[in-house]
Amino acid sequence: MKTLGFDNPLYVLPFDHRGSFETKMFGWHGDLNAAQTAEIAAAKQVIYDGFKAAIAVGVPKKKAGILVDEQFGSAILRDARANGYTIACPAEKSGQDEFDFEYGADFPKHIEEFQPTFCKVLVRYNPEGDPALNKRQMARLKQLSDYLRDKSQSRFMFKLLVPAEKAQLERLKGDQTAYDLELRPQLMVQTIQQLQDGGVEPDVWKIEGLDQRKDCERIVAAARAGMAVTRSVASFWAAAKTKGRCTNG
């Protein structure tokens, strides 16, 4: 079992988009043919070439990384590993409201084929949401957390989204900005606590932007809770609309 947590500076270029890449960039729907798949892979190669060019002109290699998917970026993942870059690879199905594994029960095989620095998941979880849905997600996430902690060299990166429930928005008269400022930070803390209580313990939390310093501090405290010896780092990747700035704790 490896030490939990990650406390090094980390700046990640994410281009693991799949469903949204197909539909919003190329306008394609349904199953892709080989030519379409190759075209998306080529577009992602351009992004990766830009990353390598940035490294070549002085971006610190030890602080930089990429997040790219296996479906369209398998060649990139292999090249990045050969070059000693920090790499992250998603484990979740793309575009799903409920977290599930992209490759089902074979997820360990796909992780170990590429041995990324981080195995990343994107999870939509609201602690006041559907209890059955949350329970199903929790079970799958614990399965992944246990595997990464006990059997893999890859670490666990958790991208948390807390979408508003209908009743929550109704209490705020439909004001999404009020939800983001007043309610979402506390729900994020509750979500982290629920996941930890369920045995899910990421090395890095990747969260939505927060506007207030006090909320950043609460998230850091929640991420570190229950860790007597090891430390967990909350990584704040601010959304474009965020007015303030949160730094790593």
User: What is the domain partition of the chain in residue ranges?
Assistant: 11-236
Cβ-Cβ contacts under 8 Å for 47 (sequence gap 6 or more): 13, 15
Written as six digits, the tokens of 101 are: 């594994």
In angstroms, the CA 227 to CA 214 distance is 21
Predicted local distance difference test score (pLDDT) of residue 1 = 61
Residue whose pair of structure tokens reads 């090249």 in the numeric block: 79
8 Å CB contact between 224 and 203? no
Under a CB-based contact definition with an 8 Å cutoff, are residues 212 and 185 in contact?
yes
- State the pLDDT at residue 229: 32
Per the CB < 8 A criterion, the answer to whether 156 and 147 are in contact is no
**Residue 225: per-residue pLDDT:** 85
CATH number of 11-236: 3.20.20.70
Could you tell me the two tokens for 43?
A: 């577009």
Q: Tokens at residue 55, please?
A: 């490294």
- Helix or strand or coil: residue 195? helix
Closest CA to 239 of 214, 209, 217, 215: 209
What is the reported pLDDT for 245? 42
**Residue 218: per-residue pLDDT:** 96
What are the tens digits of pLDDT across the range 2-20? 788 898 999 999 999 999 9
> What string of H, E and C letters represents the secondary structure of 125-176?
CCCCCCHHHHHHHHHHHHHHHHHHHHCCCCEEEEEEECCCCHHHHHHCCCCH
pLDDT at 132: 98
- Tokens 């479906």 locate to 71
**Confidence (pLDDT) at 231:** 41
Helix spans in the chain (H) = 19-20, 34-56, 70-82, 107-114, 131-150, 166-171, 176-178, 184-197, 213-224
Q: Which residues of the chain have pLDDT under 70?
A: 1, 226-249
By the 10 Å C-beta count (0-12 exposed, 13-18 middle, 19+ buried), 42 is classed as: exposed
Q: What is the pLDDT of residue 227?
A: 55
Instruction: Give, rounded to a whole angstrom, the gap between the first and last alpha carbons of the chain.
Output: 24
